[in-house]
Structure 1
């Protein structure tokens, strides 16, 4: 569909051969008939694109000649986006509803740079999607000792958090540009969400959890089953802690 006006939200979805995973998310967006959105789908590796065509909202498909990492893909999508807010969305997110005014309510504070909803799994259990900034000791407890106490507890009101996982995050356009987006040169995959939130805070922006809005995440947990992903995860952790 040809865009006719500036959208409120740009939803950016990256596909790694995941058209079948993304189609239910697109169906959710069609069913919800959300006003003021555009969708950018980045095809990171060649695949059948029929699921991405003939959508009833403004949509654009970006195609990579060679695969890129998470941050590089999102930064490229941002460069092509038009929305007042830039929304990073995992392919495996599902939306039973999306209250956009509630989601954007914390943005009434001009110091807020990013907002995330509560994330649940398919069974309705709350996922550990907002956390304190990691430490080496905390990472050892989390990975080796399997001690994964939630970083935050909350009630009905929005709260400020250190960082939010990049499953579904709304960035104020000005804030995303202020920190030059994700650091795709240092982080190919993993820890780029921690890093961008840390850089936002260093620039005076706050990161907010909005408990009034919930999305569903069908977690893939690739780093738990793939040596390649585990290597990326450990490399990114080392770069985060050392600053290299």
Structure 2
């Protein structure tokens, strides 16, 4: 029987999180319509081995770490479901959350996808992580140059995170995080999937949502579909300097692709912004990581004229 939904989980050294995710899927009222596909990016911690014998999941092992976008696209090409649900390994399912998400999205003829509500272990929505407006040049400068508390609490910037919306009701959203992202399979494939240039991670979901928006395709937030999300484990697997270099390098790539005139300035401002953050960093380790990331990005710009070599 053809599944209605293909769940795609990209794994890289997630420890016991992956197994907990797959096991919690059994809380779904009707698991028979689900296809679970796990793509392992050459993990070395045995996390993929923990679910290798699970008959409810299809495990695809890659020979090297190809990054999130490439791994997700690999599974999406083979998926049989009419819908794709991309989930991070550090997700725990609540009873019938997938059924609620599907009902909330498929009941809207204009929707090609959406997301549930990511919550922490205490049940609190992750308001400053999950839902965002697509980034504009103004937001890019604010994110780079303003302190975090100013970005989060400023009136105009609170709008970026949909803080002014009622999170107990569904609404259209521009850019849900790929930690929980439901998309119609045909729409995803017509777009060509995730852009694999955003490697190994970060901003591939922003870019995909921008391309959906350019085609006037809608995404919806479904608050009663709740997914418990740990968050942050991918970044914790990298050194602070590595994470900062990748994140800001991919930010430069995004603005180069979608705001090319602005990106000429932005690429040169990013190292400056990182050095400014280093000057007020609370710890020597944080200061060192910011300076190292700034140096790496300056070297790339100097040697290649762009953000990435």
TM over 0.5: yes
C-alpha change, 1:145 and 1:139, in structure 2 (3 Å) is: farther
Partner of 1:236: 250
Q: Which one of the candidate residues 5, 12, 24 is aligned to 1:28?
A: 24
Query: CA RMSD of the aligned region, Å?
Result: 2.1
Cα distance between partner residues in 1 of 2:235 and 2:14: 17
Which structure has greater strand proportion?
Answer: 1
2:113 aligned with 1:103: no
Give yes or no for contact 1:92–1:218 (8 Å, CA) kept in 2: yes
The Cα of 1:46 is off from its aligned counterpart by: 4.0
Show the counterpart of 1:145. 147
Within 5 Å, which residues of 2 pair with 1:181-196? 181-196=193-208
Q: CA deviation at 1:223?
A: 4.2
* Bigger relative contact order (CA 8 A; separation at least 6): 1
Q: Which runs of 4+ in 1 moved over 4 A?
A: 221-225
Q: CA 1:155/1:13 → structure 2, altered by over 3 Å: closer, same or farther? A: closer
Moved more, 205-214 or 184-193: 184-193
Q: Name which of structure 1's ranges 190-199 and 156-165 shifts more when overlaid on structure 2.
A: 156-165
**Partner-residue secondary structure (3-state), 1:114:** strand
Q: Deviations over 1:144-175 (max 9, x none)?
A: 41022362122543211111111111111111
Structure 2 residue 70 is the aligned partner of structure 1 residue 72: yes
Distance 2:194 2:245 in 1: 20
SS in 2 for 1:35: helix
Q: Where does residue 220 of structure 2 map in the other structure?
A: 208
TM-score (norm 1): 0.89
Distance 1:101 1:219 in 2: 23
Give 5+ residue unaligned stretches, structure 1. Answer: none
Partner residue of 1:39 out of 33, 36, 40: 36
Contact persistence 2:5–2:34 (CA under 8 A): yes
Counterpart-to-counterpart distance in 2, 1:222 and 1:139: 23
> 1:96-135 CA distances to partner (integer Å, 9 max, x unpaired)?
2234443123223333121101111122221131111113
Check the 8 A contact 1:12/1:87 in 2, yes or no. Answer: yes
Provide closer, same or farther for how the CA distance between residues 10 and 90 of structure 1 changes in structure 2, counting only shifts above 3 A: same
Counterpart position of 1:15: 11
- The answer for unaligned runs of 5 or more in structure 2 is 153-157, 261-309
Higher radius of gyration, 1 or 2: 2
Shift in alpha-carbon separation, 1:46–1:192, aligned structure 2, 3 A: closer
In terms of mean alpha carbon deviation, does 192-201 or 129-138 score higher? Answer: 129-138
Name the TM-score, length of structure 2 as normaliser: 0.71
Equivalent residue pairs, number: 239
Q: CA deviation at 1:197?
A: 0.7
Q: What whole-Å deviation, never above 9, does each CA across 1:177-199 have from its counterpart, x for those lacking one? A: 12111111245311111110110
